[in-house]
């Protein structure tokens, strides 16, 4: 409570003491820094005084890491700061030093690896859920990985992102060959949305000689990638590209209205058939006519050629109200990877890159559902290390975690492995 100064507590007219008639409330937003604390365990030891040969019985430790001091909250904080805040471990070490706690980046690296290994079953289950869905969106981005056997000392790997079932799963691949995403998609039977990556056509079920995993009739295009080619031509000074961009603007305005009105898939399909498809028809009529008059290899020629190559795949997006007309959600997920890459520069090994994929899987899925990543990771690391059963992993996934049924497993239930 803040009192009125003494000089103002008497009436200026009669000199009588003023009486309190209430309080005026205001708020001040303050920051209270995080703190470290050491929790000391006193584990009971029992021994039989009559039978010393029976040895000593000691209570089990509640530590989540056998040969380390971190609790679940600290482990969660390390990986959240790395994957959500894109903070390299050496910067975290500097931050902790300001609190009087000296932890080397290598120690934080070991603890981060441990935490991600603990959470790996959750990431695997997320991947299963994503690829069990009937509609998956995919794209990739590069990832530099240290490699002593490579002439440059660094290999260019790739991080693939797959969005489906309102979750996101990431996969690390050491190169851009189609066999890596194909291995993940072996059981996939739905629609796959992506850019013009030629490897989609090379993905075969069961290896060489098998059927195509994603035939053309189940391959959806991306309006963002098509539009980007025309944007590049426009920035290069070709005013004709503005015609295509005006069509895209109108089409995306219809999509925005559908989302604002929260239309069902059926209603969105009807809206597209009524308003969007006539615009798509006009756009492609203009593209086909213009393409014949363009000089090969110019930016606008490249844009129209790409649009023509992707026409069938992009038109397929408008045939079902469940489909988006672009790969925007995957692009947004990959931006987090790109931001982290600018800070930590590279992965230390293929195994390290695989752990990066785990981190981006779990926290990307948390972000999609508005789940507090620190609270989620703290809780889930503790539960998994306490023996949470594998058959109940779905309860720990971000889309279900915020729901009330998060009780600990009953005694005797199987432990997650």
Say what the pTM is: 0.86
403 within some domain: no
374 within some domain: no
Diameter of the chain measured on Cα atoms: 103
Around Cβ 140, how many Cβ atoms within 10 Å?
A: 24
Q: How far is CA 172 from the centre of its chain?
A: 14
Element (H, E) at 321: none
* DSSP assignment of 305-318: HHHHHTHHHHHHGG
Contact 153, 174 (CB under 8 A): no
Q: Which residues contact 402 (CB under 8 A, 6 or more apart)?
A: 369, 371
Residue-by-residue pLDDT tens, the chain, 417 positions:
889 898 888 988 888 998 998 889 988 888 887 888 887 777 788 888 888 888 888 877 766 777 678 899 999 999 999 999 999 999 999 999 999 999 999 999 999 999 999 999 999 999 999 999 999 999 999 999 998 888 888 999 999 999 999 999 999 999 888 888 888 888 899 999 998 888 888 888 876 667 899 899 999 999 999 999 999 999 999 999 999 999 999 999 999 999 999 999 999 999 999 999 999 999 999 999 999 999 999 999 999 999 999 999 999 999 999 999 999 999 999 999 999 998 888 898 999 999 999 999 999 999 999 999 999 999 999 999 989 999 999 999 999 997 765 445 544 454 554
Around Cβ 236, how many Cβ atoms within 10 Å?
A: 12
Q: What angle do CA 318, 320, 321 make, to 5 degrees?
A: 95
Q: What angle do CA 113, 73, 355 make, to 5 degrees?
A: 20
Q: What number of helices (H) and strands (E) belong to the chain? A: 14, 7
121 within some domain: no
* Structure confidence at residue 405 (pLDDT): 52
Please return the burial class of 63, using the count of CB atoms within 10 Å of its CB with bins 0-12, 13-18 and 19+.
middle
Residues 281-316 pLDDT 10s: 999 999 999 999 999 999 999 999 999 999 999 999
* Backbone dihedral region for residue 18 (phi beyond 0: left; psi -120 to 50: alpha; all else: beta): beta
Which phi and psi angles does 140 have, rounded to 5°? -140, 165
Count: domains in the chain: 1
215 within some domain: no
Contact 361, 126 (CB under 8 A): yes
* DSSP assignment of 3-17: PPPGGGSB-TTT-PB
* Structure confidence at residue 29 (pLDDT): 85
271 within some domain: yes
- Output DSSP code: residue 38: P
285 within some domain: yes
270 within some domain: yes
Please return the burial class of 256, using the count of CB atoms within 10 Å of its CB with bins 0-12, 13-18 and 19+.
exposed
Query: What residues make up the domain containing 241?
Result: 222-325
240 within some domain: yes
* Structure confidence at residue 376 (pLDDT): 97
């Amino acid at each position: 409570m803040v009192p009125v100064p003494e000089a103002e507590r008497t009436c200026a007219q009669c000199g009588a003491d003023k009486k309190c008639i209430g309080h005026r409330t205001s708020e001040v937003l303050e920051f209270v820094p995080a703190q470290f604390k050491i929790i000391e365990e006193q584990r009971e030891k029992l021994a039989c005084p009559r039978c010393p040969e029976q040895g000593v019985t000691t209570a089990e430790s509640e530590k989540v890491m056998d040969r380390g001091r971190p609790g679940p909250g600290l482990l969660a904080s390390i990986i959240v700061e790395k994957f959500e805040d894109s903070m390299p471990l050496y910067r975290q070490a500097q931050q902790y030093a300001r609190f009087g706690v000296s932890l080397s980046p290598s120690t934080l690296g070991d603890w981060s690896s441990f935490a991600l290994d603990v959470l790996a079953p959750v990431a695997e289950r997320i991947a299963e859920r994503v690829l069990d869905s009937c509609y998956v969106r995919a794209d990739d981005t590069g990832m530099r990985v240290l490699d002593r056997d490579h002439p440059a000392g660094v290999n260019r790997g790739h991080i693939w992102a797959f969005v489906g079932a309102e979750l996101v799963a990431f996969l690390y691949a050491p190169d851009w060959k189609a066999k890596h995403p194909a291995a993940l998609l072996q059981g996939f039977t739905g629609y796959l949305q992506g850019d013009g990556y030629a490897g989609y056509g090379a993905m075969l079920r069961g290896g060489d000689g098998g059927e195509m995993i994603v035939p053309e009739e189940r391959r959806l295009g991306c309006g963002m990638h098509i539009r980007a080619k025309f944007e590049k031509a426009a920035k290069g000074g070709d005013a004709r590209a503005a015609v295509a961009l005006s069509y895209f603007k109108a089409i995306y305005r219809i999509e925005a209205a559908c989302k604002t009105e929260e239309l069902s898939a059926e209603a969105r399909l009807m809206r597209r058939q009524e308003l969007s498809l006539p615009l798509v028809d006009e756009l492609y009529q203009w593209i086909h006519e213009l393409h014949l008059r363009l000089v090969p290899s110019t930016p606008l020629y490249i844009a129209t050629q790409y649009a023509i190559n992707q026409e069938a795949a992009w038109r397929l997006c408008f045939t079902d109200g469940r489909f988006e007309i672009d790969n925007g959600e995957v692009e947004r997920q990959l931006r987090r990877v790109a931001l982290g890459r600018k800070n930590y520069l590279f992965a230390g090994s293929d195994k390290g890159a695989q752990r990066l994929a785990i981190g981006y899987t779990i926290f990307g899925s948390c972000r999609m559902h508005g789940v507090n990543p620190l609270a989620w990771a703290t809780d889930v690391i503790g539960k998994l290390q306490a023996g949470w059963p594998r058959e109940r992993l779905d309860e720990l996934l971000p889309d279900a975690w915020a729901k009330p049924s998060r009780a600990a497993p009953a005694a005797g239930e199987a432990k997650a492995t």
